[in-house]
């Protein structure tokens, strides 16, 4: 997918419904590394500093959300 295709695809599912989890900012780099290995770029979105010491990770589907939630619980 081209960068424009990725942006268009993300825009569609972010406007509809998605799964989200809040993470501590200390876990941002480890989270991004995990996402690169496990979830295609067009199926997740990371928003930084959504609150004090908090970032938000959004997923298009529940399968990736569940995998991430399991990993996050084990590694925080």
| Structure confidence at residue 45 (pLDDT) | 94
pTM given for the model: 0.87
Q: What tokens does 68 get?
A: 């991430």
E strand or H helix at 57? strand 54-59
- Confidence class for position 2, pLDDT limits 50, 70, 90: confident
- CA dihedral 30→71→42→54, nearest 10 degrees, is -60
- Confidence class for position 76, pLDDT limits 50, 70, 90: confident
Can you tell me the distance from the alpha carbon of 14 to that of 17, in angstroms, rounded to the nearest whole number? Answer: 6
Owner of token pair 């809040």: 22
12-64 residue pLDDT tens: 998 888 999 999 999 999 999 999 999 999 999 999 999 999 999 999 999 99
Can you tell me the distance from the alpha carbon of 30 to that of 50, in angstroms, rounded to the nearest whole number? Answer: 18
């Amino acid at each position: 997918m081209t960068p424009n295709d990725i942006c268009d695809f993300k825009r569609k599912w972010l406007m509809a419904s998605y799964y989200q989890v809040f993470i501590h900012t200390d876990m941002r780099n480890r989270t991004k590394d995990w996402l690169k290995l496990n979830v295609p770029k067009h199926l997740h979105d990371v928003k930084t500093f959504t609150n004090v010491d908090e970032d938000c990770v959004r997923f298009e589907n529940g399968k990736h959300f569940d995998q991430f939630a399991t990993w996050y619980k084990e590694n925080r």
